[in-house]
Amino acid sequence: MKKVSIIICALALGFTSCKKFLDVNTTPNNPTSVPPSTLLTTTTTGMAFANANDLNRATSAIMQHIAGVANQTAAYDVYALDGAFDNQWNGEIYGTTLQNLQVLIDQYSNSSPAYSGIAKIEMAYVYSMAADIWGDVPYSQAAQGLKYENPRFDKVQDIYQGNATLNITSLFDLVKSGLADLAKPNNVLKPGSKDDLIYGGDLTKWTRAGNTLLLKFAIMLTNVNPTLAQSTISSVLTSGQYINSNTLDFEVPFGSSVGNRNPIFDFNNNLRQSDQMLSSRLLALCQSLNDTVRLAKYFTKPTGSFVAFNNGSTAAVPSLATRSKYNIYLTGAAGGEAPIRLLTNFQVNFILAEAALVLGTSGDPNAYYQAGITANMQKIGMTATEINTYFTNNPTVVTLSGTTQQKLQQIITQKYIAWIGNGIEAFDDYRRTGYPVLALPLNAVGDNPNVVPTRLPYTPNELARNPNAPNPRPKTDVKLWWAK
């Protein structure tokens, strides 16, 4: 390499210095580093896009929020999952978002820890999403460029709990490291309203989001490490620094202009208008709970009534103009500007209700349960009168009763309804609790047509490229470590 450089320099303008020659070929359009403000905007949008795009469609179909009636979504509806999600693994999660988050951490943790603190919180969210969907995934060796060309697949239990022998930092400690960065005073640069799309540079709100993420992680471990789950939730409750108002929700804004629309709107209204619609299973559940006023905030009623479709059915599909599809709460009134919601006040209340019920953390499970229902109804735009009427007319629905398991079923069923539009969250809760009770779709196929999938299959590209990928891949009926 030195010989090549010498030859180039000798040929350049007689004996002009090599440095001066190379300086001429330096372009400001190819910077060696990217400003943290640019990276943060990119990672935040990427995180939300990964959550709400194809992974959301697949899990929403599996969870029967929607019924797939054409193309890929119809395949997901009946568990034909193999061969999919390369774009999500390579492009949306590992190839872009996590890489950029790692750059933020590596380049700005010393000079501008506010950026690295936010990056660590976002990184923990994205890694948990991957691990909860696929199981063992690249984590401790991922997103580090050429250092690990074939990163190890870390076990889910090590990702959540850490493994000092393997140099694996737990998700809990990753978030706590981010929270510590947010509290550091030595910030040369701080995010502002233009680059911090979620909280406009308010680090106290990011602290609440980080602690809320700890609550989310903790409740995932109720079956496998209740001690860690209980201690984490109790610690966050004591701090008081978590999302406890709808105004503090951790949600990523989008716009109505082309190229800035949220993926839920773009897929349903532009790219694949005919692929999915309201599931008749979800409609039947909401009707049994006398809860169709809330359902109408999530799904349209073009004919004045809900028009739904049975999961896996091969019957004739209703005409496009009559179908109940996602409503403006999920798509935006103008089209595409609805935010993607990742951590919410209603979610926190349902987590705390479950924790008080199952783990014995402080607080009244029923009070948290009712607060979760109320927060969700307020969030989606129900009026105070509509909410009060629902509570008055449905006392057995809004009041926990029966055994611990029956109460847990009530909590998770309400959380399932609240998370319409975020199938990943519903998928997580279903696999670790078994609620709500779901019947298999008609004409199910896939690895095991007799079992609701417990994970998504690894992507073909990763299986072919990375010798550390599990081979053969686990079937979609193999439970994750934290599952029931």
pLDDT tens sequence across 94-143: 999 999 999 999 999 999 999 999 999 999 999 999 999 999 999 999 99
pLDDT recorded at residue 32: 56
Instruction: List the Cα angle 48/54/60 in 5-degree steps.
Output: 95
Parts of the chain with a pLDDT under 70 = 1-32
Q: Where are the beta strands (DSSP E) in 201-318?
A: 250-252, 276-278
pLDDT recorded at residue 26: 45
CA–CA dist 49, 44 (Å, integer): 9
Q: What is the pLDDT of residues 257-308, one digit of tens each?
A: 998 999 999 999 999 999 999 999 999 999 999 999 999 999 999 999 999 9
pLDDT recorded at residue 187: 80
CB under 8 A, 24+ apart: contacts of 330-335:
330/264, 330/265, 330/298, 330/420, 330/421, 331/262, 331/264, 331/265, 331/268, 331/269, 332/254, 332/256, 332/261, 332/262, 332/265, 334/256, 335/256, 335/261, 335/265, 335/269
Helix and strand tally (H, E) in the chain? 23, 6
Count of beta carbons in the 10 Å neighbourhood of residue 164: 9
Closest CA to 412 of 361, 364, 349: 349
Q: Answer for the pair 54, 88: CB distance below 8 angstroms, yes or no.
A: yes
Was domain 36-256+340-465 assigned CATH 3.90.420.10? no
Query: Secondary structure of the chain: what % helix, strand, coil (to 5)?
Result: 55, 5, 40
Tell me which DSSP letter residue 252 carries: E
pLDDT recorded at residue 34: 83
CA 332 to chain centre: 19
* Domain ranges across the chain: 36-256+340-465
Tell me which DSSP letter residue 339 carries: P
Q: Where are the beta strands (DSSP E) in 288-398?
A: 340-343
Question: Tokens in use for 407?
Answer: 């109460």
Strand partners, 454: none
Phi, psi angle pair for 78, to nearest 5°: -110, 20
What is the distance between the terminal CA atoms of the chain, rounded to a whole angstrom? 57
